[in-house]
A = this chain, B = another copy of it.
């Protein structure tokens, strides 16, 4: 048992933290948020060069990492800096699917930073259930509607899930298709997201795609990529929570009222200490989820469910308390915490929320 980062991961962490604290200021981010694209192609390329994407893939896949701890290191740093570029969806989630399906060419492009991807899987009535697919495909022709598809507008290729057999809730019979940008029959209603970046409602009307992996076997690819993405989401949220607590600590000791730093008032001091305790809990939850990503399915899933549930609870506490202890200033859009708090809260709406993972944890516990 050992809790030290390897030298390589430590280096990656240091490099990222330095780069992002230099380049990814609140001002830079606010400009990106205000832009039509909701992301910066330049930042994407620079981070890809620094190895952010390569770290998410194994050597076999053309990367230099790919383990749970690699993912955690990368996304904790992206979360700390509040990076809005869609590495989680575009690179990790979609990249994992393609890598596991053996699509070496596209994975190489992803790692090089030259390919934008989107996963069009969730639907208006599927909520957080991975197995509910009503979109259908006959042969290569897809029809259906996909909900809140991250990075849809920018994607060169969209991975679309469709049911080729079975019932709405079956795991079997889901097939993944690659749909090229500009494919006929695709319409999008795009919008910005609370947490930055963009997504779209995607309607597929007789759209042609090419099968990824085996027909009817898409669920396994989705599940495995989803596990890695959930770890990444937890790590990203942990990073954002670090920023929120650091901003709050700083504020409490800078801001004075009635002649004293407000952090010396006992009520706030005690609440701050509760946040710090939950930060330790959150750190441990992410460590476990990352460390067991390569374990057997039950161990992996127990720890991922536990982590996402705990992050949901601790995240809510941290973002609400950080805002409350700041007071008015934290309510303004231009202050760093505003974006960070939205990131933390919106993370609860991705890959299953607090209750969803609690239920899954209970079910696995009883099994």
> B-contacting residues of A (Cβ < 8 Å)?
265-270
SS of A interface (majority) = helix
State which of B267, B268, B269 has its C-beta within 8 Å of the C-beta of A269: B267
Q: Quick one: closest B residue to A273, CB to CB?
A: B267
Q: Quick one: closest B residue to A268, CB to CB?
A: B266
| Nearest Cβ on chain B to A266's Cβ, whole angstroms | 4
| Nearest Cβ on chain B to A352's Cβ, whole angstroms | 23
A-B residue pairs in contact (CB < 8 Å), sample of 7: A265-B266, A266-B266, A266-B267, A266-B268, A267-B267, A267-B269, A267-B270
Q: Quick one: closest B residue to A269, CB to CB?
A: B267
| Nearest Cβ on chain B to A25's Cβ, whole angstroms | 35
Q: Which residues of B contact A270 (CB under 8 A)?
A: 267
Q: Which residues of B contact A266 (CB under 8 A)?
A: 265-268
| Nearest Cβ on chain B to A263's Cβ, whole angstroms | 12
| Nearest Cβ on chain B to A209's Cβ, whole angstroms | 42
- In order of increasing CB-CB distance, the 7 nearest A-B pairs are A266-B267, A266-B266, A267-B270, A267-B267, A265-B266, A267-B269, A266-B268
Q: Give A267 to B274 CA distance when docked, in angstroms.
A: 12
Q: Give A147 to B270 CA distance when docked, in angstroms.
A: 44
| Nearest Cβ on chain B to A315's Cβ, whole angstroms | 23
Q: Give A94 to B265 CA distance when docked, in angstroms.
A: 54
Q: Give A265 to B265 CA distance when docked, in angstroms.
A: 9
| Nearest Cβ on chain B to A355's Cβ, whole angstroms | 15
Q: Give A266 to B266 CA distance when docked, in angstroms.
A: 5
Q: Give A270 to B270 CA distance when docked, in angstroms.
A: 11
Q: Which residues of B contact A267 (CB under 8 A)?
A: 266-267, 269-270
Q: Which residues of B contact A269 (CB under 8 A)?
A: 267
| Nearest Cβ on chain B to A110's Cβ, whole angstroms | 47
Q: Which residues of B contact A268 (CB under 8 A)?
A: 266
| Nearest Cβ on chain B to A261's Cβ, whole angstroms | 14
Q: Give A268 to B265 CA distance when docked, in angstroms.
A: 12
Q: Give A267 to B268 CA distance when docked, in angstroms.
A: 8
Q: Which residues of B contact A265 (CB under 8 A)?
A: 266
